[in-house]
Amino acid sequence: MRASKTLSGRQMIGRQKELHISGAEGIYQESKIQQIVKKYLERGMHHPKGKSDSIVVTAERLKQVPKIRAALPVTTVMCHTTAEGKKVISSILRSLGISEKAMDMASAVISKDAMRGATIIATEKGIRLEPNKERGVRVSRVGITGSASKLLSTRLLRHGINTDTVKEAMILASKVVSHSDVIAELCISDDPDYTTGYIASRKFGYLRIPHIKRQGSRSGGRAFFVREGADISALIHYLETVPVLIGKVALCKGTLAIHEIINSPHR
């Protein structure tokens, strides 16, 4: 589903600009489609970013058998302010070998107008690698099996975080970092009221970061940090079109201090 709004103003005579309001994707059994489309429409119609004037829903039958991948373990980093949030981001990304240049590029892209998709950034040189810089790369064809979804909900519930937002983000991140060329994903919601973001990596799992941005801020986005020399079109093909189902759930560890996480990586 993609919901958007057309902006036209005096500054844009003769041109129109599309503002991305909301998007969602998943893999579902045929019997669930009607229910899901209803939920997606609801989301596109009532969004804190504003009123959409176009909602496009596409349903496709999968032509490939989905690959089964494991979910990342979920941990919340202890973090109480946006200032602390900034420090947490740099220490995690630094521990993953991501350069200052690459971090600066990610924050520059994310603080601009929200893109529909994600930017791809080279881990050392810090340059952007996605071919379409306005749209970015949109991860799609990712879902979770029924049994894994139930177990995940039970585990998240113990920590009071069993929401669609957390589940969907963790499922997406598990697909993204299952590709060996992706070192990490940084995500900040573009929803003005949602101030918890995350960094996902094979090394540390899915690390939720409260206060990653100021309340009320409309900027947000995703950055995928990739290994130098990665085959970008193969990566984009995997992220956008290869169906992946999360079939195995990992531990949900609750809240930990940053030094506890960095000193005992998941793998």
Give residues in contact with ligand WAQ (CB under 6 A): 23, 25, 114-118, 137-139, 165-166, 169, 172, 187, 189-191, 194, 196-198, 208, 220-222
Q: Are strands 182-188 and 54-56 parallel, antiparallel or unpaired?
A: unpaired
Residue 114 binds: one of Mg ion, ligand WAQ, none (C-beta under 5 to 8 A by kind): ligand WAQ
Between 46 and 158, whose beta carbon lies closer to Mg ion?
Answer: 46
User: CA torsion angle for 185, 186, 191, 196 (degrees, to 10)?
Assistant: 110
Between 23 and 243, whose beta carbon lies closer to Mg ion?
Answer: 23
Task: Please give the angle made by the CA atoms of 152, 157 and 161, to the nearest 5 degrees.
Answer: 95
Burial degree of 95 (CB within 10 A; 0-12, 13-18, 19+) = middle
Between 126 and 205, whose beta carbon lies closer to ligand WAQ?
Answer: 205
Name the minimum Å distance from CB 10 to ligand WAQ: 26
Between 117 and 205, whose beta carbon lies closer to ligand WAQ?
Answer: 117
Cα 74 to Cα 156: distance, rounded to the nearest angstrom: 9
Name the minimum Å distance from CB 258 to ligand WAQ: 16
Cα 185 to Cα 130: distance, rounded to the nearest angstrom: 14
Site string for Mg ion, 168-197 (x = CB under 5 A): ----------------------xx------
